[in-house]
């Protein structure tokens, strides 16, 4: 199973989802791959936002080695599942889908709820981490039941 976590900047939310899912997958002893990308290109080549790195570290997850990249159409071929953080990400990714097979790979991490964008609000990083953790646990459970 190959899972791609996607948000707008790939420096706040999707790096958390990437690191958390990778940790959960490892705990389960699964041979799954996890990566992340942004719909935007502003931060390509940079590490995660220091507030996400800090929040992850407080929870025992190291995301400091991740490097930001932008989503590319080839990711539809590379990954089994494209997991987006909010409706805007979903719209932007679906706009790049070439066919139904691509579109079917796209889903929101929280099913029908958005993971809020914390970029302009320092107080959101802790709750965002918890939402991401809950979403990743739920997603892993669902996928394990299916595969």
Query: Which of 13, 49, 51, 68 is labelled catalytic?
Result: 13
Q: How many residues interact with ligand 4NP (rule CB under 6 A)?
A: 10
Site membership for ligand 4NP, residue 7 (CB under 6 A): yes
DSSP codes, the chain: -EEEEEESSSSSHHHHHHHHHHHHHHHTT---EEEEEESS-TTTT----HHHHHHHHHTT---TT----B--TTHHHH-SEEEESSHHHHHHHHTT--SHHHHHTEEETBTTBPPP--TT-GGGHHHHHHHHHHHHHHHHHHHHHH-
Catalytic residue status for 98: no
Listed ranges 9-17, 23-31, 71-79, 104-112: which one lies at the site for ligand 4NP (CB under 6 A): 9-17
12 counts as binding ligand 4NP under rule CB under 6 A:
yes
Among 3, 4, 5, 8, which residue interacts with ligand 4NP (rule: CB under 6 A)? 8
Region of 10-18, 75-83, 98-106, 135-143 interacting with ligand 4NP (CB under 6 A) = 10-18
Active site residue 68: no
| 117 catalytic residue (yes or no) | yes
* Interface contacts to ligand 4NP, rule CB under 6 A: 7-13, 42, 117, 119
């Amino acid at each position: 199973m190959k899972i791609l976590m996607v948000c707008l900047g790939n420096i706040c939310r999707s790096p958390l989802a990437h690191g958390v899912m990778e940790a959960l997958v490892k705990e389960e002893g699964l041979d799954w791959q996890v990566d992340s990308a942004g719909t935007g290109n502003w931060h390509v080549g940079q590490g995660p936002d220091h507030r996400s790195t800090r929040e992850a570290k407080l929870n025992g997850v190291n995301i400091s080695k991740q490097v930001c990249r932008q989503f590319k159409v080839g990711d539809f071929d590379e990954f089994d599942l494209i997991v987006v953080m909010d409706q805007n990400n979903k719209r932007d990714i679906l706009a790049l889908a070439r066919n139904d097979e691509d579109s079917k790979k796209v889903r929101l991490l929280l099913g029908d709820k958005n993971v809020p964008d914390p970029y302009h609000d320092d107080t959101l990083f802790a709750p965002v981490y918890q939402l991401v953790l809950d979403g990743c646990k739920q997603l892993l459970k669902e996928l394990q039941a299916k595969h």
